[in-house]
Structure 1
Amino acid sequence: MKRVVVTGIGGITPLGSDWATIAARLGDGHNAVRRMHEWDFFDALNGRLGCPVDDFILPDWPRRHLRSMGRVSHLAVAASEKALDDGGLLGDPSIADGRMGVAYGSSGGSIDPARTIGRMLETGSMQGVTATSYIQMMAHTTAVNVGVFFGLKGRIIPTSSACTSGSQAIGFGYEAIAHGKQRLMLCGGAEELSGPGAAVFDTLFATSTRNDTPALTPRPFDRARDGLVVGEGATTLLLEERDHALARGARIHAEVVGFGCNSDGQHITQPTRQTMAVAMQMALADAGLTAGAIGYVSAHGTATDRGDVAESHATASVLGEGVPVSSMKSYVGHTLGACGALESWWAIMMMREGWFSPTINLDDPDPECAALDYIRGQARFIDTEYVMNNNFAFGGINTSLIFRKHP
């Protein structure tokens, strides 16, 4: 088995697109939630809050690439460009020789071409339907656009698995390198914000309706939580076989040491704490660690009623009630396909710097949730060698990743 390290990270998030900016905003304790007046058109939508990336400017990329991209691929490719630059491989022709692959995902493709197809079904008109409409809306649009944009000829692993798209991508990329199938993998997830995307959760009564007080929601693990807020963004991790990274003198952010992934096999939308716990146990076993080694857990923490309860009890059953936990969704909402990668990025950087951001709006922990050591109020200074990032998706898909601090 090969050792796998993170040598490049790039992201586009509602809190910023570089770690210095993001860390400062985490320190301020304010979220990026706002009232989405763009959704006033949807008359029956209850939750009208979102976390958009308002400052993203489309780079001046060649038109031949842009034709196949919708916004979700714009975000994915931009994050991947940043990761390659951070890893010192942007523009390096050697990455196109097959040694680098892609594992990437999103909940779905872009919404605009889907709107065009829907109009065709409704009216019979093919106006606006183009040769690239399907390419922009297909489930694996992020994975293939990242691969084609950078000319990568390694394996492509699409991970369109809703809220575990990003974490599965990192896990599957890690396994591809660990088993010697690839030397490098670009891994991550992306999501674009849309009214229909919010409506998916709204119809399940799972979105926050604090439309007039966006700063006070979402509230993961809080007694007064009333649902999630949908966000958008993208994050890419450049994973690399450790000896390959050392040979080229790459800077190493962290090491990926454990990955667990399974499914509940019971219900499409209702989580099961027992199988969530198994995923965490699988990650610990893969890393060869005991529960006591984990110094911090980046929780999925969506602020939904059943999700928070199930996750907290699963975490406590595996790691004990004393483990420090916080949810980054309290800052940027639920970025769906991006969250597994985004939250891994932030957990790695906080581990490197020795501080962990609290869950904001967690004023009164729900007694129905397990009595974990929820980080609240101020950042917590923790010197730990290992952090865990957990994510759970529709379909009962559970993932757990463990990262080790690099000396």
Structure 2
Amino acid sequence: MKLNRVVVTGMGAISPFGSGVEALSDGMFSNKSGITNLGEKWKEQIADMLCEVGGVITEDLNEKRIPRDLRKNMGRTSILACLAAEEAVNMAGLNKELFLSGDYGVVFASTTGSSQSIYDFAARLKEEKSLSSIKSGQFFQVMSHTTAANIACYFNIKGRVISPNSACASSGQAIGLAYETIKYGLQKGMICGGAEELHVTTTATFDLLQAASFHYNDRPDETPRPFDRDRDGTVCGEGAGAIVLESEEEALKRGAKIYGEIVGFVTFSSGEHMTRVTEEDLIKGMERLFQESGFAPEEVDYINAHGTGTVLGDSEESKAIESFFKSRSLNPYVSSLKGHIGHTLGASASLELIVCLKMMEKGRLIPTKNLLNPDENCGDLNYLMDFVDFKPNLIMKNSFAFGGINTILLLRRYSYGQK
């Protein structure tokens, strides 16, 4: 069987820095914080919440540009997904003929359907004890595969539609599954990624798990603090990241610009604990990644860590990286991007992979924001604490989720004729 090279031809993003890939890139490379205090609004709904900060999108997204007959079936999560996908599709130069061919599909996901729509549905049903005022489209806003289904309808896509809703690993799995689908010739191209809306109940969930930051409520730009000794938990954010993947053959045939190449993917389960992934699990996952991809750990220049700012999670991930790479006398650069925009959950892997592509393009690596004093209980790594001018050729991207669902991607700088 012929195996296809899988390349990136389009990107789309909506983040706490605003609408568009350039807004995301500008915010990151300017080392800005997209985190603000939302306590006044949130306390009206949940009085005893500890965390009051989040990465929220304040920009007017002009949602009404989406036709009403489609928009009525979309909650905020799907609106973010469709707008990001639109930017990616336009960048890639995809057209209706390709979508109608059945050769192009969608792999898109989120943690849940629209949190606000779920909240509204439950509140109205409890108050009125009747379905009479609930519109039928609200179900399509809250169903688990709402992002993938709405993107498919938005572009009239006839190919495969897959929605691997796996919390913080959602878009990591989406990109990886799209990569495998194209690699093995089952589709010529895929729109892939993830989306998430920020709602008080989302942050409340992390509060319940004692995993949300709250000591910096009065200084929101100082949290989260991945790998820092003074970190106190994660900060939830919202956004959407969409990536168009195509076979190299199709991209070259269309004359599309190629921004990078996915060359490896692994997804694996911890299978032991709902909120913890162990150092041993992560080491085994990395071993599998390099065994299956054919690349060597020595080739990795930079690791984009999951690094959410939780005490245990950062420790386990960093120690696994140290054990795996330093045992081979390797010391690649490491940073997390969540100090800038928070943890965008289902959107995180796709948004962060887009930033990785921009780092490749610019030849400049972004540090972990708010990392001032690496925790001695974290791994001894080559943490980026300032910008470094460096052109990475191979990037490893980690994404881990509750339920013990984990993904790792390999992103390579594209070169024609490279094996």
User: Displacement, 1:120?
Assistant: 4.8
Q: Match of 2:312, as an amino acid?
A: R
Aligned to 2:408: 400
* Deviation by residue 1:80-112 (Cα, 9 ceiling, x = unmatched): 0000000011x4422221011110100001123
Aligned-pair distance for 1:121?
Answer: 4.8
1:300-348, CA deviations, whole angstroms, 9 ceiling, x for partnerless residues? 0100011000110111222336111111100000000000111111111
What is the letter of the counterpart of residue 279 of structure 1?
G
Q: Which residue of 2 aligns with 1:21?
A: 23
Corresponding residue number in structure 1 for 2:91: 86
How far the C-alpha of 1:3 sits from its partner, in A, is: 1.0
- Whether 2:371 is the aligned partner of 1:354: answer no
SS in 2 for 1:190: strand
Cα distance in 2 between the residues matched to 1:59 and 1:67: 10
Greater Cα shift, 37-46 or 244-253: 37-46
Deviates more, 1:168-177 or 1:50-59: 50-59
Contact 2:14/2:21 (8 A) holds in 1 = no
Deviation at 1:127, TM superposition (A): 4.9
Hey, what's the Cα distance between the residues in 1 that align with 2:191 and 2:22? Answer: 22
User: Which residue of the other structure, out of 30, 33, 49, is the alignment partner of 2:32?
Assistant: 30
* Counterpart in the other structure of 1:3: 5
Post-superposition shift, 1:224? 0.3
- Preserved CA contact (<8 Å) 1:260 1:281: no
| 2:18–2:58 contact (8 Å) kept in structure 1 | no
- The CA distance in 2 between the partners of 1:24 and 1:161, in whole Å, is 29
Q: Distance in 1 between matches of 2:374 and 2:298?
A: 23
Deviations 1:173-225 (A, max 9, x none): 00001111100100000000000011010011111111101011110000000
Matched to 2:356, the amino acid is A
Provide Cα deviations, 1:265-284, integer angstroms capped at 9, x if missing partner: 00001221212222222222
Contact 1:295 1:382 in 2 (8 A): no
2:11 and 2:21 in contact (8 A); partners too: no
SS of corresponding position for 1:225: coil
Q: Which of 61, 70, 93 is 1:65 aligned to?
A: 70
CA contact (8 A) 1:270 1:307 kept: yes
In the alignment, the residues of structure 2 paired with residue 62 and residue 18 of structure 1 have an alpha-carbon distance, to the nearest angstrom, of 20
Contact 1:300–1:390 (8 Å) recurs in 2: yes
User: Secondary structure of 1:75's partner?
Assistant: helix
**1:74 corresponds to which residue?**
79
8 Å CA contact 1:257–1:286 kept in 2: the answer is no
| 1:97 equivalent in alignment to 2:79 | no
Q: Which residue of structure 1 lines up, in the alignment, with residue 321 of structure 2?
A: 315
Q: Tell me the distance in 2 between the aligned counterparts of 1:177 and 1:136.
A: 29
Give the whole-Å Cα distance in 2 for the aligned partners of 1:143 and 1:21. 24
Query: Structure 1 residues 108 and 329, CA, compared in 2 at 3 Å: closer, same or farther?
Result: same
**Which digits, 9 at most, give the CA deviation of each residue in 1:249-279, with x for residues without a partner?**
1100001100011000000012212122222
Give 1:386's aligned residue.
394
The 1:367/1:128 distance shift into structure 2, 3 A limit, reads farther
Deviation at 1:287?
2.5
- The CA deviation at 1:113 is 2.7
Distance 1:22 1:121, change over 3 A: closer
Structure 1 residue aligned with 2:47, among 27, 43, 46?
43
Distance 1:351 1:59, change over 3 A: farther
User: How far apart, in 1, do the equivalents of 2:261 and 2:292 lie?
Assistant: 13
CA-atom RMSD in angstroms = 1.3
Q: Distance in 2 between matches of 1:330 and 1:390?
A: 16
Contact 1:234–1:342 under 8 Å retained in 2: yes
1:21 deviates by: 3.2
- Residues in 2 aligned to 1:278 and 1:145: alpha-carbon distance in whole angstroms: 36
Q: Normalising by structure 1, what TM-score?
A: 0.97
- Select the residue among 285, 303, 308 that pairs with 2:309: 303
Q: CA deviation at 1:57?
A: 2.8
Determine which of 216, 219, 223 is the counterpart of 2:222.
216
Letter in 2 for 1:112: Q
Deviation at 1:59, TM superposition (A): 4.4
| Runs (4+) off by over 6 Å | none
Establish whether residue 116 from structure 1 lines up as the match of residue 120 from structure 2: yes
Asked if 1:328 corresponds to 2:337, the answer is: yes
Q: For the Cα contact (< 8 Å) 1:259–1:282, is it kept in 2?
A: no
Percent of aligned pairs sharing the same letter: 39
Aligned residues: 405
Say if 2:248 is the partner of 1:242.
yes
Q: Which moved more, 1:118-127 or 1:389-398?
A: 118-127
1:217–1:361: 8 Å Cα contact kept in structure 2? yes
SS of structure 1 residue aligned to 2:99: helix
How much does 1:119 deviate?
2.5
Contact 1:113 1:129 in 2 (8 A): no
TM-score by length of 2: 0.94
CA gap 1:59/1:254 in 2 versus in 1, 3 angstroms:
farther
Task: Measure, in 1, the Cα distance between the counterparts of 2:31 and 2:251.
Answer: 36
C-alpha distance 21-62 of structure 1, shift in aligned 2 (>3 A):
closer
Question: Alignment partner of 1:220: what SS?
Answer: coil
- Matched AA of 2:49: L
For 2:163 and 2:207, how far apart are their aligned partners in 1? 27
